Amino acid sequence: MRSRVLAVLLLVVSPLTLVAAAGGPASAERWTHRDPAKDVYQQESGTVPAVKQGDITAVAMSYQRQSFVLDVKVRALHREQWSYLDLFLDVPRAGGRTTSREIKYYFTIDEGDDLGVFDPTAGVSVDCSPVTGTHSYKKSTLRIVVSQDCLGRRATKVTAGTYFYNAWRDLHGSYVQTDDGLRKGVHNRSGVSPELSRG
């Protein structure tokens, strides 16, 4: 079950911070990446360079002591019939096991702003809080903050991936557009960050 986001448009990272930092090396708890522009993929017609909505250009990830923070900059951001930013997290456990979490940050015309937390392996929703999302249409930025409790109190490392999903329907049919923030285009596999250590 998705939990209602109470605070939106409150604290959003500056796009200049993302752009300036993008492309830097991995560190103990922070990693940044500059994603190619004009690589949004549409299922019906392939790559569509003219599409700005959800076209990720910069990603910053930070694994802090009490939370994991994802900041994303896109070329343009507005509400559609069905839009969300997706965050995948893999947390290594003892014995070679891995706990996975998927956070979907929705901002749609019909349903407003919501967050959904899922276990992608089991295909079920997870009661995991606090997890928060903020965004700015003016700055075209988004942020997801995942608490350490959601990852597990003993978790010390994490890898992550993110993509933007946008869909709508009109008189001519249904359309789906996606952009992987850590890979050029979306086809078979999503990009994944280096392993980040808890700060």
Q: Which residue has the higher pLDDT, 86 or 111?
A: 86
Q: Which residue has the higher pLDDT, 43 or 66?
A: 66
Task: Look at the pTM and tell me if it is higher than 0.85.
Answer: no
- Read off the tokens for 182: 């850590």
pLDDT number for residue 112: 67
Domain chopping of the chain, boundaries? 3-197
Query: Residue 141: pLDDT above 90?
Result: yes
CA Rg value for the chain: 16
Given a contact cutoff of 8 angstroms between Cβ atoms, the answer to whether 128 and 144 are in contact is no
Query: Residue 9: pLDDT above 80?
Result: no
pLDDT number for residue 111: 62
Rounded to the nearest integer, the mean pLDDT of the chain is 82
Predicted confidence (pLDDT) per residue in 150-198, tens digit? 998 889 999 999 999 998 877 777 889 999 999 754 444 568 899 999 9
Given a contact cutoff of 8 angstroms between Cβ atoms, the answer to whether 162 and 147 are in contact is no
DSSP string spanning 121-179?
TTTEE-----EEEEEETTTTEEEEEEEHHHH-TT--EEEEEEEEEEEEEETTEEEEEEE
Query: Residue 13: pLDDT above 60?
Result: no
Question: How far is C-alpha 168 from the chain's CA centre?
Answer: 20
Mean pLDDT, residues 107-133:
84
Query: Residue 145: pLDDT above 70?
Result: yes
pLDDT number for residue 95: 83
Predicted confidence (pLDDT) per residue in 48-93, tens digit? 999 999 999 999 999 999 999 999 999 999 887 788 999 999 999 8
Given a contact cutoff of 8 angstroms between Cβ atoms, the answer to whether 59 and 33 are in contact is yes
